[in-house]
Amino acid sequence: MRVDLFDFDLPQDRIALRPVRPRDAARMLVVRGGEAPFEDRGVLDLPDLLEPGDVLVFNDTRVIPAQLEGRRAGGEAKIGATLHKRIDLRRWQAFIRNAKRVKEGDQLVFGGGVTAIAETRHADGSITLMFEGEEPVEVLLDRAGTMPLPPYIAGKRGVDAQDLEDYQTMFAAEDGAVAAPTASLHFTDRLVEPLDARGIGREMLTLHVGAGTFLPVKADDTDDHAMHSEFGRISAETAERLNAARAAGGRIIAVGTTSLRLLESAASEDGFVQEFAADTDIFITPGYKFKVVDGLMTNFHLPKSTLVMLVSALMGRERMMAAYDHAIENRYRFYSYGDSSLLLP
């Protein structure tokens, strides 16, 4: 499909630079299948919009301080590195700012005495960095790294101490993400308690979101776009509970596109969630047949992004373009720190 079919005009003042306070006070646009009218609700209405036996599936990845600033050893050229995907205990694949100044074998010097060797340059422009020393890389990143806010926020203001809290979900447990699973940022104890009381289930999976999630689609046709792979994991026990919930008539509601992509990656052709521990580069566009996901809670996404294509696959392109027009007209807040939507095909 043509990528420009997923374009729309978004006023700059609709881009949220901070989340609402408290975070569960965000608005939520409910989009149902067919021609049902759009519903302007709030995130706190979620328990009333779901049914007992439904299951919300969250991504429990935790954002790491994956943004590094430094220079090439022996030179003055400043470079920036955004870690993208872990390769092993000491190596990370990273996107490099000012990458033309970096050659394979160069030592890069970051803050706090942290150094890394530039190893392999990949076809997508990223470079493998091998961190030097004996300390765990996590310790080095805590010393030298900062929170990697999305470029549409970081380009307008600096990262500060408040982001350390705001850009982490209440479910964050497994270190490894470069971007937060932002649909879960709206959840608080005040929201979770009535969900539990109504008999709505809660399951966790892990998908370590990479920096590729921020990259624009440069191709003119979706067939020519290559997704970056990310590591995901679903335990056998979680898969068993999800299958049992569906067998009992419950719906599987993914909280965030990362949860949805991993669930569909782990799904068998006959609609069962399977144990999963591998990379996934699934690219969901209109025409895709969903196997296990029955609904999605997600924020509002960038024009022409893979995530707009994903929600269009779930609800239909014309339906989602109309929903986005409604959201813009009614001043919903967009992107990572913005408002939410509940999509029920």
- What's the CATH superfamily of 67-145? QueA-like (2.40.10.240)
- What local confidence, expressed as pLDDT, does residue 214 receive? 64
Q: Mean pLDDT across the chain, nearest whole number?
A: 94
Question: Could you tell me if 61 and 174 are in contact, meaning their C-beta atoms sit under 8 angstroms apart?
Answer: yes
DSSP 8-class letter at 133? S
- What local confidence, expressed as pLDDT, does residue 74 receive? 84
Using a pLDDT cut of 90, give the percent of the chain over it.
83
- What local confidence, expressed as pLDDT, does residue 215 receive? 67
- What local confidence, expressed as pLDDT, does residue 217 receive? 83
- What local confidence, expressed as pLDDT, does residue 269 receive? 94
- What local confidence, expressed as pLDDT, does residue 226 receive? 81
Tell me whether strands 39-42 and 27-32 are parallel, antiparallel or unpaired.
antiparallel
- What local confidence, expressed as pLDDT, does residue 154 receive? 83
How does pLDDT run across 173-228, given as a tens digit for each residue? 999 999 999 999 999 999 999 999 999 999 999 999 986 666 678 889 999 888 88
Mean pLDDT calculated for residue range 79-85: 92
Mean pLDDT calculated for residue range 157-184: 93
- What local confidence, expressed as pLDDT, does residue 101 receive? 87
Mean pLDDT calculated for residue range 15-36: 96
- What local confidence, expressed as pLDDT, does residue 278 receive? 96
**Residue 59's pLDDT band (cuts 50, 70, 90):** very high
Question: Could you tell me if 213 and 177 are in contact, meaning their C-beta atoms sit under 8 angstroms apart?
Answer: no
Does residue 73 register a pLDDT over 80?
A: yes
Single-letter amino acid code for the residue at 154? A
Does residue 97 register a pLDDT over 80?
A: yes
Mean pLDDT calculated for residue range 301-322: 96
- Helix then strand count (H, E) for the chain reads 9, 17
Task: Report the distance separating Cα 210 and Cα 231, nearest Å.
Answer: 9
Residues written for the chain: 345
**Residue 64's pLDDT band (cuts 50, 70, 90):** very high
Task: Please give the C-alpha separations between residue 201 and each of 3, 58, 266, 273, in angstroms, as whole numbers.
Answer: 36, 11, 19, 16
Paired tokens of 147? 């929170």
Mean pLDDT calculated for residue range 6-25: 95
List b or e across 187-201, with b for residues whose CB sees 16 or more CB atoms inside 10 angstroms. Answer: beeebbeebeeeebb
Task: Report the distance separating Cα 259 and Cα 298, nearest Å.
Answer: 10
Task: Please give the C-alpha separations between residue 256 and each of 4, 294, 297, 307, in angstroms, as whole numbers.
Answer: 24, 13, 6, 10
Strands annotated E in the chain: 27-32, 39-42, 55-59, 61-63, 67-72, 78-86, 91-97, 107-110, 115-121, 127-131, 174-177, 201-207, 230-234, 252-255, 276-280, 295-299, 340-344
- What local confidence, expressed as pLDDT, does residue 287 receive? 96
Q: Where are the domains of the chain?
A: 3-63+165-344, 67-145
How does pLDDT run across 112-148, given as a tens digit for each residue? 999 999 999 988 889 999 999 999 999 999 999 998 8
How does pLDDT run across 259-283, given as a tens digit for each residue? 999 999 999 999 999 999 999 999 9
- What's the CATH superfamily of 3-63+165-344? QueA-like (3.40.1780.10)
How does pLDDT run across 331-344, given as a tens digit for each residue? 999 999 999 999 99
- Of the given ranges (43-52, 191-200, 225-234), which has the lowest mean pLDDT? 225-234
**pTM, rounded to two decimals:** 0.93
Task: Report the distance separating Cα 340 and Cα 326, nearest Å.
Answer: 13
